Amino acid sequence: MVPIPAAGLTGPLAHTPPPAAVAPLDPGQVPHLAAGQLHELHAESRGWASALLFALRTMAQTAKTGGQGHAAPLLLVRPHGSARGMSCDLPGNAPYGEGLAMMGIDPARLLIVETSSPADLLRAAHEGARCAALGGVVVETWGELRDYDLVASRRLVLAAEVSGVPVAMLRGQARPRPSAAHTRWQVATAASAPVTSLHQPLTARLPGPAAITLALLRQRGGPAGLSWHLEWNEDHARFDLARPMSPIPARKPLFGAVMAGTVVSLSALRKDMARRNAA
């Protein structure tokens, strides 16, 4: 009989607990969406493509590779065009494969789930958050989405903590509400930088690479109110800092004087609970 070293079973086979605390975001670095956490990205219809790109691109970059060297698939859960209660400002919109390919996201990695009710949407998101083989879950939601409450978001967090999959909820036409999310962002497009070229007169009126502004509304265990101005780097197919912004306290709040939604304080880890939920 081959003796099995005791450490062998406690090592790679054992359940690896999620990191006790995710390091707060550094205003001098391009922000990322921490793995194994739930993130909320608020965007209006005009910033929707930017929010989608930021979520997918960050996840595509940080995702581990799958079993046979393939990049881990990304799950995109979205309401079906005719889904009730989730009508959006962008009629008939759909992710476009060639556009994704241009932005360095292999369209073959994308798994699209179309749901017809808010309950199905959240259930599909939860299934995705439990699946450790995914590189990330992006959920497109429109409207207030009553079903997405503290309980639903906490369920997503627990599932994500166990599987280590980042989950991003894209919230369109919705006011921030209390939730268990790790971070909450406001994403908007920004005017692109002028194209610098030797042929200045010819290129002066061309739109430049994509530019977005990110405002960190809430961050669990870290300062909020940071903001970033990111610019698309076409050579490396990633976002770079356009000009680093230090925390700007004078920045106009995005949702009136008082933030309507607060991140409720929850114990960061309840391992037994997380395991039970995943079982």
Query: Which residues contact other proteins by CB under 8 A?
Result: 12-13, 46-50, 52-54, 66-68, 70, 72-73, 75, 80, 89-103, 106-116, 120, 123-124, 127-128, 131-134, 189-192, 205-208, 210-212, 232
CB of 172 to other proteins, least distance (A): 12
Closest CA to 188 of 233, 229, 240: 229
Calculated CA dihedral for residues 167, 244, 224, 46, nearest 10 degrees: -60
| Smallest separation (angstroms) from other proteins to the CB of 268 | 26
Q: Which of 186, 175, 188, 167 is nearest to 50 (CA)?
A: 188
Residues 6+ apart with CB under 8 A from 84: 116, 117
Rank residues 57 and 220 by Cβ distance to other proteins and give the closer one. 57
Nearer to other proteins, 213 or 259 (CB): 213
Q: What is the smallest separation between the CB atom of 99 and other proteins, expressed in angstroms?
A: 4
When the beta carbons of 145 and 230 are compared against other proteins, the nearer one is 230
- CB 36 → other proteins: shortest distance, Å? 16
For other proteins, the closer CB: 132 or 151: 132
Number of Cβ within a 10 Å radius of residue 161: 26
The DSSP 8-state label assigned to residue 84 in this structure reads T
How many CB atoms are closer than 10 A to CB 87?
13
Q: Which is nearer to other proteins, 170 or 263 (CB)?
A: 170
In degrees, rounded to 5, the angle at the alpha carbon of residue 248 between the alpha carbons of residues 242 and 254 is 95
**200 vs 6, 192, 208, 238, CA distance in Å?**
68, 16, 13, 25
CB of 257 to other proteins, least distance (A): 24
Q: Give the nearest distance from C-beta 9 to other proteins in angstroms.
A: 10
Angle separating helix axes 150-163 and 118-130, nearest 10 degrees: 20
Q: Nearer to other proteins by C-beta: 161 or 231?
A: 231
Supply the minimum distance, in Å, between the C-beta of residue 227 and other proteins.
15
Q: Are 43 and 168 contacting, i.e. CB atoms less than 8 angstroms apart?
A: no
Q: Which is nearer to other proteins, 64 or 150 (CB)?
A: 64
